[in-house]
Amino acid sequence: MYPKVAYFCMEYGMDTAFKMYAGGLGILAGDYLKGARDLSLPMVGIGIKWKQGYTDQLVGKDGKPYDAYHNYQYDCLEDTGVCVTVKIRQRDVRCKVWKVEAFGNVPLYLLDTDLPENEDAWITGQLYGWFGEERIAQEMVLGIGGVRVLRALGIDVDVYHFNEGHAVLAALELIREKMDSGLNFENAVETTKQEVVFTTHTPVLQGNESHYLDRLAYMGAYNGLSHEQMIHIGGAPFNMTVAALRLSKKANAVAQLHAETANCMWQHVDYNKPIIGITNAIHVPTWVDPEILSAVDREGDLWQVHMQNKRSLLDFIKRRNGVELDPDVLLIGFSRRAAPYKRSNFIFSDENIIAPLLEGRKLQIVFSGKAHPLDDTGKSIVENLVGMSRRYPNAVVFLENYDMEIGRMLTRGSDIWLNNPRRPLEASGTSGMKAAMNGVLNFSVLDGWWPEACRHGVNGWQIGGGFESCDVCEQDCHDLKSLYQVLLEEILPTYYERRDRWVDMMKNSIHSTRKQFAMERMLSEYYELLYKA
């Protein structure tokens, strides 16, 4: 018998029209529920109905990105008729419960505070739109409200899975329930641990939230616990990742290398077991062209199918940006959240090398990605990429307002998938898996999932040989030299002079990833390694 799992996440990506996701975390959560649905696994999702979703990030005439928000209505939501209440700042906040019909036998329930009777109707307004008090209120709705939804709907749960630390206040609600039934704090914590598992994602310290204790107290997030008990759980300030590690029976990272990084990062926390590695995966029917897989299986003309996808991408680019790229020129795809460690504009570091390739019609690059609405540094990265697209208008493109549709087009139609973060700061990176299964060859730093799949020159290429340095300049110089060397000496000659070898690499890319990085494997490992007692 499989245990019944309640999966808590702040965001979910189902399709392009479903604006409840910001990026990789939400795409993974949506793929996870789709996979559980396909396999008829006993799981239920808990999230928030975001009135405006995440930002629509557009580019102005001046080349600078700006954010726009819209109120969305969804036909895929069913009114459950259920409301739960969460006390926030000493006021009862009613949370309406919606059910997402598209996930079928694996229901996703979303909490919504946008009700006329709520003074604090704004709480579920914007995904990641605020910090401080607003973020705490959102996390109280997700965590405390989420547990109360399960109770109101009569759903019995064996395992509570927190996908990132945002949901950890659900554990405080579980502790409060047990203390109300007569257990003391220590026994309530130990009993709760046996029900909770936790997935940690970003190894970037700033991506692991913490809150001042006095702010949590003012908001009502203590939920009946004392100041000392809160410190015992999450420290001072209260770190959501630390609390999740301390309140879970098992925790996992999202790639094997990430497990090493996470254990080192959190070694100061008195957590009872090592963080294990369960590498992320993708929902193949959502992301992979079935004609590509069919061509591989029946030994058909893989290149012809790829070129159909590439032309579809180029048509998409022409409609969106008015730019006409050449289908016969090597096309690099790059789509990432705009953050400094992801080094989005890294390939432009030496224009003496890259400019002749772009101007000489040997290379084309398509970028996409958003910066956090409040991240001015990230927005300057986007502005730089837009500037490069204007400097090389026939060879460089930036697709604004990155979403699932753009991601699907890029990971099917590019020739090369570039990923060059500073190792080891990439947790997993599932876009490379999507590209690999579509026969798009990865060209990546050995970070995240890629060390588990890479066979250099066989199914893709690696950058930097796994080199790491605390000196950012040293790291960048080393990786840049490797990037240009592999691009000039291996990738370009293979593409233009050895098409047969290129196609063989495409086949190897698909064969080496289509099962290992498919959602079925990931779900199996979660049930075997994390959910079962």
Segment 13-70, tens digit of pLDDT: 999 889 999 999 999 999 999 999 999 999 999 999 999 999 999 999 999 999 999 9
Indicate if 374 and 427 belong to the same structural domain.
yes
Q: Domain check: are 407 and 470 in the same one? A: yes
User: What type of residue sits at position 256?
Assistant: Q
Q: Strands 65-68 and 416-419, how do they pair?
A: unpaired
Alpha helices in 392-460 (DSSP H): 404-413, 431-437
E-assigned strand segments in 216-330: 238-239, 250-253, 276-277
Statement to judge: residues 255 and 313 lie in one domain? no
Whether residues 406 and 351 share a domain: the answer is: yes
Residue-wise pLDDT for 280-325, tens only, equals 999 999 999 999 999 999 999 999 999 999 999 999 999 999 999 9
CA separation, residue 305 to residues 299, 332, 440 (Å): 12, 18, 12
User: Is 387 found in the same domain as 499?
Assistant: yes
> What six digits make up the tokens of 198?
């936790």
The packing angle between helices 290-297 and 302-321, to 10°, is: 160
Q: Domain limits at 169? A: 5-281+521-531
CA distance 283 to 105: 16
Q: What integer pLDDT is reported at residue 533 of this predicted model?
A: 67
Question: What global pTM score does this model have?
Answer: 0.96
52-84 core/surface letters (b: 16 or more CB in 10 A; e: else): bbbbbbebeeeeebebeeeeeebeebeebeebb
Tell me the C-alpha to C-alpha distance, in Å, between residue 456 and each of 67, 434, 462.
40, 18, 6
- Count CA atoms within 13 Å of residue 301 on its CB side: 4
Q: How many CB atoms sit inside 10 A of residue 433's CB?
A: 29
- Tell me how many domains the chain contains: 2
Phi, psi of 198, rounded to the nearest 5 degrees: -145, 135
Q: Are 150 and 157 in contact (CB under 8 A)?
A: yes
Tell me phi and psi for residue 43, to 5 degrees.
-140, 150
CATH number of residue 441's parent domain: 3.40.50.2000
Per-residue pLDDT, 205: 77
Residues 257 and 386 in one domain: no
Judge if 331 and 248 occupy the same domain.
no
Query: How many other C-beta atoms are found inside a 10 Å radius of the C-beta of residue 131?
Result: 11
* Residues 214 and 304 grouped into a single domain: no
Kindly state the DSSP code that residue 61 receives in the 8-state scheme. Answer: T
Rg (the chain; Cα; Å): 23
In sequence order, which residues have a C-beta less than 8 Å from that of residue 253 and are 6 or more positions away? 199, 200, 259, 261, 262, 263, 275, 276, 277, 278, 427
Residue numbers of the chain with a pLDDT score lower than 50: none
- Helix, strand, coil in percent for the chain, rounding step 5: 45, 20, 35
Work out the number of other CB atoms within 10 angstroms of the CB of residue 500: 9
Q: What sign does the dihedral 401-374-96-108 (CA atoms) show?
A: positive
Predicted confidence at residue 418, as pLDDT, reads: 98
Q: Are residues 513 and 527 in the same domain?
A: no
Alpha-carbon 420 to chain mean position = 17
Tokens at residue 435, please?
Answer: 């590209």
**Quick one: which of 284, 282, 285, 198 has its CA closest to 233?**
198
Specify whether 175 is located in the same domain as 53.
yes
Answer yes or no: are the C-beta atoms of 292 and 440 closer than 8 Å: no
CA atoms within 13 A on the CB side of 161: 24
| Residue 408 φ/ψ region, left for φ over 0, alpha for ψ in the -120 to 50 degree band, beta for the rest | alpha
336 and 377 both lie in a single domain: yes
**Pick from 240, 438, 410, 431: nearest CA to 342:** 431
- Cα dihedral sign, 67-71-74-79: positive
Which position has the token pair 């990506």?
13
Same domain, 234 and 327: no
